[in-house]
């Protein structure tokens, strides 16, 4: 069976980001996977109950998604709201969707407090970022779904090509 890939909905061109924008990922492999029916599109934040637009949120105190999942950090909106529970709900739904659809891999946009896998912002809403994962990326990864960022499409291509 062809391996399926869970993909951030905003990378598929859907205008679901906090500010109502999309970030379509232009890559030949993504077009091919789409045509092959391999992509399962999901926005963890919408799945967790958020609307568009919504206030931007970051993981507090330069921590990361694993810290949120383990109760050491919260996800806070710029307006001060504690949205931790909804971020964890979105991560759980993302894993359920990945499992239902037999997604072995996830291709997620970097920098997001949900989908980031290489870096996230530090909670100061000043544009400072650090290495770390968002809540959904961390949850998928710890449950056996291999996560790639939007800058790692070529690695995912190689990974799929090397599958037996
Ligand atoms: Fe895109 Fe993920 Fe943010 Fe949804 S949660 S808008 S899919 S980065």
Q: Per-residue pLDDT tens for 27-65? A: 999 999 999 999 999 999 999 999 999 999 999 999 999
What whole-number distance in Å separates Cα of residue 56 and Cα of residue 76? 9
3-state secondary structure of 7: strand
Question: pTM for the full model?
Answer: 0.97
| Residue to substitute in 13, 44, 88, 120 for testing ligand 1 pocket (most ligand atoms within 8 angstroms of CB) | 44
Domains identified in the chain, total number: 1
Is 88 exposed, middle or buried, given 0-12, 13-18 or 19+ CB atoms closer than 10 A? buried
- pLDDT-flagged residues of the chain (< 70): none
Domain limits at 97?
Answer: 4-161
What whole-number distance in Å separates Cα of residue 148 and Cα of residue 164? 20
What whole-number distance in Å separates Cα of residue 36 and Cα of residue 20? 28
Quick one: pLDDT at residue 2?
75
In this structure, the residues whose C-beta lies within 6 A of any atom of ligand 1 are 8-10, 16-17, 43-45, 109, 112, 114-115
End-to-end CA distance of the chain: 11
CA dihedral (63, 66, 72, 76) positive or negative:
positive
């Amino acid at each position: 069976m062809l391996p399926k890939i869970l993909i951030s909905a905003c990378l598929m061109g859907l205008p679901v980001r906090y500010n109502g924008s999309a970030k379509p990922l232009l890559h030949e492999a993504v077009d091919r996977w789409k045509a092959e029916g391999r992509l399962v599109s999901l926005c963890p934040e919408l799945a967790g109950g958020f609307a568009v637009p919504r206030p931007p949120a970051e993981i507090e105190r330069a921590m990361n998604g694993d810290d949120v999942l383990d109760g050491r950090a919260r996800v806070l909106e710029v307006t001060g709201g504690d949205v931790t529970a909804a971020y964890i709900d979105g991560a759980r739904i993302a894993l359920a969707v990945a499992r239902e659809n037999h997604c072995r891999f996830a291709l997620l946009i970097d920098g997001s407090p949900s989908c980031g896998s290489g870096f996230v912002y530090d909670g100061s809403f000043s544009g400072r970022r650090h290495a770390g994962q968002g809540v959904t990326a961390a949850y998928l990864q710890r449950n056996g779904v291999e996560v790639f960022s939007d800058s790692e499409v070529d690695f995912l291509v190689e990974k799929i090509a090397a599958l037996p």
